[in-house]
Amino acid sequence: MGFWLRFNLLVFTIAILSTPVLSDLILSKVDRRIDLTSQIVRITSTLKVENAGSGLVSEVLLAFPELQAKKFGILMATTNEEKAKRKVLELVSLLKLPIQKECPALTVYSVSLSKALGEGDTMSLDVLAVFTHTLKPFPEKITQADIQLVLFQDSAYYLSPYAVKFQSLSIKLPDARIESYTKIENTKIHGSEIKYGPYENLHPFSYSPLVVHFEINQPFAVAQELVREIEVSHWGNVQVTEHYNIVHEGAKSEVNFLGQLEYQARPHIRGSSAIRHFVAKLPPRAHSIYYRDEIGNVSTSHLWADSKKTELLIEPRYPMFGGWRTAFIIGYSLPLQDFLFELEGKRFLNISFSSPINDLVIDNLVVKVVLPEGSRDLSVSTPFPVKQRQESKISHLDVVGRPVIVLEKADVVPEHNQYFQIHYSFNKLSMLREPFLISGFFFLFVACIVYVHVDLSISKSSASYLAKLQWDEVRATIQQVESIINQCLATHEKIEASLRDLSRIGDVQACKTTRKTADGLLKEHSKELKPLLAFLQSSPAAANICLSLNSIAEKMVKLYMRHPNIMVEELVAKERELQERWMAKHSIIVDCYEKKLGREIENRVAPQQQKVVALRQEVEDLLEYIDEI
Ligand SMILES: *[C@@H]1O[C@H](CO)[C@@H](O)[C@H](O)[C@H]1NC(C)=O
Ligand SMILES: *[C@@H]1O[C@H](CO)[C@@H](O)[C@H](O)[C@H]1NC(C)=O
């Protein structure tokens, strides 16, 4: 990102020094619509861009007054072609232009076109700019009896580094009083809509200041900070907890105690811009929903649910006037299968990024995703850039802690409420840790009681001594299994080595011989495994968690991993599957060589290869776990 920024700044400096490059483009038509019906200002512009020079143009510059540019929620440009694919062009860079005559300081963004514009070509570009904190309350302070008035400023002419042939602007206001608006040539008003233009043949950087002063009674709810914690549990649940810290950023209210009483007496007449409630649109099937503030659970919230959504009406304990703040927490649970999916052996979480509350501006949003313990190879994909870091969280049953992905974004608007994904790998065995840990503690507890009260000395005839003997036998057997599996893995490696030789030297015969030897060896290993597995299956010590009493503390740590029987079976099964995959891979490659289909090897082997890698990892993980017994 940093590199790009510098790179583009350089390009701009050159572009500005040699102005002809700038004037290659003209805008043959600009339609601009400004929506001022809520605290979030949305400006949609449709530009018809024409290349009037010679040579290709691959960038279009967009200029914004510096004041607006500081308040961007979103700036997005799409071309007609891309709209079909719903792809957003990336705005890569910015540059501050020196102040021109009466024009305000500008910040310029560049849109790189995926297809350069040839001589005489035209294209259409849709630009959406969403701003926060742009409507200024005027007057800044009001009483409860007053309506809330705000000011909006912009230019009646489209500010652009290019000449504009034909342009128009319309401003949509709330259905309420319009105190005043700038009147210049071609200004019309229809109900709550003001129209400027059309204006023709304007020079680059043409500017005509425009101010609208109007009534708006929408609440200006701004979350100065919102922390969303999304905790994934593979036992079937996604728990979402959201900590809000909200301020009403409309005109400050001069409320006294009497005023508040008056409000309570006649709530519908007074304080028309006060925030009385928030509406949160939660996903369908959300359950265990709560809403809590500093004092405790708030029961005045209401809930509606149908198959498409769950709507939570949050009523603060008192109506919020301008300048007032409130802090609260909402929490809800979601069914795991609606948000967690599997793809190519990895899992991915697909969940919405931002707050479910309508029309909220969020100055700073922190999203923390807590994944199950044992998740690995985490990767995040978001539809827009965010700051990212990783932490870990330890709760009562964790051993090493859960990985936490922390995403941060400033100036968040409702348009940011899009889905994002987190991909990770996870070994199913890790899931067994918790129940093993719980049952482990229970066994430990019982064992301690038995140890302390019954069996203080371990004599050779005591039950615990016999148990220990049994356990030693089980352990020895498991070690034998491990060693055989390791030999199998070594055999796999030999096959792989022979495949490498095949691609180097091309000796198909040698490769086949190795395969034959390997087949023999693996068959033998499989025979050796049989009695060992039979023993483990019949041994009660292997099926149960067996404590040797001499180092309880040490065992306590490892206890949760002990269910040798299941693990050994899983290990053998996985290894067998791995063998089959290896053999299939080998056959495909040898076959391709014999039929001289060298080019197709990659394609044909790829699916087997992926499986081999995944299985190999699983076998190694299992060996590691079993090693700790
Ligand atoms: C608040 O509500 C939640 C969910 O209904 C409940 O689990 C919790 O115990 C309640 N807390 C208090 C303080 O009532
Ligand atoms: C994420 O979920 C949304 C809503 O269900 C869906 O539209 C979108 O395609 C999903 N994204 C991915 C990458 O699966």
Q: Which of 338, 347, 419, 420 to mutate to test the pocket of ligand 2 (most atoms within 8 A of CB)?
A: 419
pLDDT > 80? residue 612: yes
- 502 C-beta neighbours (distance < 10 Å), count: 20
Nearest CA to ligand 1 atom 7: 290
Tell me if 327 sits within 8 A of 221, measured CB to CB.
Answer: no
At 450, the amino acid letter reads: V
pLDDT at 108 over 70: yes
Mean pLDDT of the chain: 80
pLDDT greater than 70 at residue 448? no
CB 364 less than 6 A from any atom of ligand 2: no
Rounded CA gap, 437 and 556, in Å?
9
Residue 529 pLDDT grade (very low, low, confident, very high; cuts 50, 70, 90): confident
Per residue in 499-508, pLDDT (tens digit) is: 888 877 777 8
Bond prior to 137 in cis (omega within 30° of 0)? no
Question: How confident is the model at residue 50, as a pLDDT?
Answer: 94
* Ligand 2 neighbour 421 (Cβ under 6 A): yes
| Integer angstrom CA distances of residue 365 from 131, 224, 359, 410 | 16, 8, 15, 6
CB-CB contact of 316 with 352 (8 Å): no
Please state, for a pLDDT cut of 90, what percent of the chain lies above it: 33
Contact indicator for 337, 233 with CB cutoff of 8 Å:
no
- Does 350 contact ligand 2 (Cβ within 6 A)? yes
Fold type of domain 21-215? Immunoglobulin-like (2.60.40)
Closest approach atom of ligand 2 to CA 419: 1
Tell me, in angstroms, the distance from the centre of ligand 2 to residue 418's CA: 9
Tell me the pLDDT band of 19, cut-offs 50, 70 and 90: very low
Which range is least confidently modeled, 81-95, 103-117, 482-496, 607-621? Answer: 81-95
- In terms of pLDDT, which residue wins out, 542 or 251? 251
Euclidean distance between CA atoms 163 and 178, whole angstroms: 32
Instruction: Confirm whether 21-215 and 221-426 share one CATH topology.
Output: yes
Distance from Cα 517 to the centre of ligand 2, integer Å:
49
Least confident residue range of 156-165, 187-196, 286-295, 453-462: 453-462
Is there a cis peptide before residue 198, judged by omega within 30 degrees of 0? yes
Q: How many Å lie between the centroid of ligand 1 and the Cα of residue 297?
A: 6
| Cβ 381 under 6 angstroms from ligand 2 | no
Q: How confident is the model at residue 381 (pLDDT cuts 50, 70, 90)?
A: very high
Topology given in CATH for the domain delimited by 221-426: Immunoglobulin-like (2.60.40)
Is the CA virtual torsion 284, 289, 293, 298 positive or negative? positive
Average confidence (pLDDT) over 126-145: 89
Give the residue, 85 or 464, on which the prediction is more confident.
464
Which residue, 403, 429, 346, 343, is CA-closest to 620? 429
Q: Which one has a higher pLDDT value, 558 or 597?
A: 597
End-to-end CA distance of the chain: 48
> How far does residue 554's CA lie from ligand 1's centre (Å)?
39
Per-residue pLDDT tens over the stretch 69-93: 778 888 888 887 665 444 444 454 4
- The packing angle between helices 564-594 and 508-538, to 10°, is 170
Q: Looking at residues 371-387, what average pLDDT do you find?
A: 91
pLDDT tens across 534-588, in order?
887 777 665 554 333 334 434 443 443 445 677 788 788 888 888 888 888 888 8
pLDDT at 411: 93
Output the pLDDT for position 394. Answer: 79
The predicted pLDDT at position 4 comes to 31
Cβ of 419 less than 6 Å from ligand 2: yes
> What's the pLDDT band for 486 if we cut at 50, 70, 90?
confident
Supply the residue whose CA is at minimum distance from atom 6 of ligand 2: 419
Classify burial at 258, counting beta carbons within 10 Å of its beta carbon; exposed 0-12, middle 13-18, buried 19 or more.
exposed
Protein residue with least CA distance to atom 1, ligand 1 = 297
What are the start-end ranges of the E strands in 346-430?
346-352, 361-370, 376-381, 387-393, 402-412, 419-425
Tokens of 54: 């010679």
Provide mean pLDDT across the span 460-477: 71
Percentages (nearest 5) of helix, strand, coil residues in the chain? 35, 35, 30
What are the boundaries of each domain within the chain?
21-215, 221-426, 474-608
